[in-house]
Amino acid sequence: MIGLEGARYPWRFRLVLALLALMVGAIAWRILDLQVIDRAFLKEQGDARSVRHVPIPAHRGLITDRNGEPLAVSTPVTTLWANGKELQGARERWAELAGALGQDAKSFAQRLEQNANREFMYLVRGLTPERGQAILDLKIPGVYGIEEFRRFYPAGEVTAQLVGFTDVDDRGREGIELAFDNWLAGVPGKRRVLKDRRGRLIKDVQVVENAKPGKTLALSVDLRLQYLANRELRNALVENGAKAGSLVILDVKTGEVLAMANQPSYNPNNRRSMQPAMMRNRAMIDVFEPGSTVKPLSMVAALQSGRWKPSDKVEVYPGRLQIGRYTIKDVSTGGGPVLDLTGILINSSNVGMSKIAFDIGGEAIYNVLQQLGLGQDTGLGFPGERVGNLPNHRKWPKAETATLSYGYGVSVTALQLVHAYSVLANNGRMVPLSLVRVDREPVATQVVPEDVAKTLQGMLQQVIEAPRGAYRAKVPGYHVAGKSGTARKASVGTKGYTANAYRSLFAGFGPMSNPRFAVVVVIDEPSNGYFGGLVSAPVFSKVMSGTLRLMNIPPDNLPSEEPQQTVATSSAAGGRL
């Protein structure tokens, strides 16, 4: 019947044969094409199932102090991971693996059960290469290793809040590590390898792209001065029973931060017991009312106005001044009923400063404080840095004018305060602040007339060296200048001040023959006395003394040797006779 149909319709039979022939020809051509002509296609498909690109880790850039001493380095570590599916077939070795990892066998087994269907899970991260290799040498199926880098901080707690730290993935999370993360972070490379269907390495083929390590960053700090500042600040907190403290050393010529210490601190290499408050770089984040340390800056406004000169007198008797419902008081009244401008600074007279402020106006003081950087952004870009608050009024009432002149109603950071004092030390010239080493002296801006700045230098030198001055701030062998301050702590969440809570302050610079360094000390809530001249001035003395010696600054206040020379000459003469 079929043969009959085929004979009856021969064209259909031939059509079917032709179609079959075309199909066979197409298949044959495709085989020929893949095997002979276009062999790259099958090779690519095979490679896609066996060739992998494994990332080559790149270590972060080195952070150093200004002299090349390491502050943050990256060390190689091994991270162990596992294929949960493969590990299910090696249950008898789970206890062995848990013991090698230092983990509890029962909880480790539960964790593996929960991840039985996952092809990737971390076992432990950041092992030393030796320990990681020892575990890999156990040859437990499904356990693999990855080469990574971990950050280590040689200076520990001494530079913790400034340098900051990285997270487990080596990304910056605090401090300089976060601020300069793009600069420090490296670019991972690529390595081509052959793996089997279970992901096991068969052959390391070649490096496709080399890893690019992060760039080195040289900070402005001097590790020697940082250790000095940290030690003296920590000792001060212990001796005075204080809650916290900050200390900043600044190069007045270059604007470089040579030291920035904060207490309490923490160990960035072991952060298990770290408390959030310890992470704060208080010198740049905590704001406070600077108290009497602002009086020299207000004096700048008085001298600039042309209405006042250092020899002018102000009556301060009886040591109190009534402004509406406010009473301004002087803590010390031993300087006499009448004081000149230097005497007002030496005795820290609020009454005298207020009367000068009433004469020149609050606007004049505000303008000077603004020019000196108070309440302004420093431009450093440090994470969490605050700008403080410098109030301005369209019309300045007497109460606000007075409080501004002696450092209340305005909030600053320790860094802003030391920057303002550095302008006085640098003959009225302001240079930009820097946390990174400066290779050439920056361009300075004259923000205070040079004669006014030099006048203030002499006045502040007398604040320390005069008979009633802050003698605890003296530095043996050197002439230095500065001003103490004591400020009540504002209440958090309510108006007014916290009872029996103070900040003790001291700001100064030296040596006076050629001012080079400015230092600010802030001690938070000391319990064994709270006046700045009692608590913070001795810290300034020790830190400034150590700084001048470490930086090889020649003394400018050595005892005169003339009497000894006279005696020696007389003896020699007697010998000749």
- Residue 292 bears catalytic tag: yes
Q: For residues 525 and 505, is the Cβ–Cβ distance under 8 A?
A: no
Q: What is the token pair recorded at 255?
A: 């604007």
**H or E element: which one contains 100?**
helix 94-101
DSSP code, position 378: -
Q: What is the token pair recorded at 310?
A: 């250092």
CA-based nearest residue to 524, from 538, 540, 510, 505: 505
What is the dihedral sign for C-alpha 407, 409, 414, 417? Answer: negative
Long-range contacts of 267-272 (CB under 8 A, 24+ apart): 267/156, 267/157, 267/160, 268/153, 268/156, 268/157, 268/160, 268/163, 268/164, 268/165, 269/152, 269/153, 269/156, 271/165
CA dist 229 and 82 (Å) reads 47
Q: In the block, which residue shows the tokens 């809040």?
A: 161
Q: For residues 10 and 4, is the Cβ–Cβ distance under 8 A?
A: no
CA dist 459 and 106 (Å) reads 73
CA dist 309 and 456 (Å) reads 11
Query: Which one is catalytic: 74, 265, 292, 348?
Result: 292
CA dist 379 and 273 (Å) reads 33
What is the dihedral sign for C-alpha 310, 316, 317, 318? Answer: negative
Q: How far separated are the first and last CA of the chain, in Å rounded?
A: 161
CA dist 536 and 532 (Å) reads 5
CA dist 74 and 186 (Å) reads 11
Identify the bridge partners of residue 485 per DSSP, sorted by sequence position: 505
Q: What is the token pair recorded at 270?
A: 């072991």
CA-based nearest residue to 403, from 307, 411, 483, 386: 411
DSSP code, position 540: H
Is 424 buried (19+), middle (13-18) or exposed (0-12) by CB count in 10 A? buried
Active site positions, annotated? 292
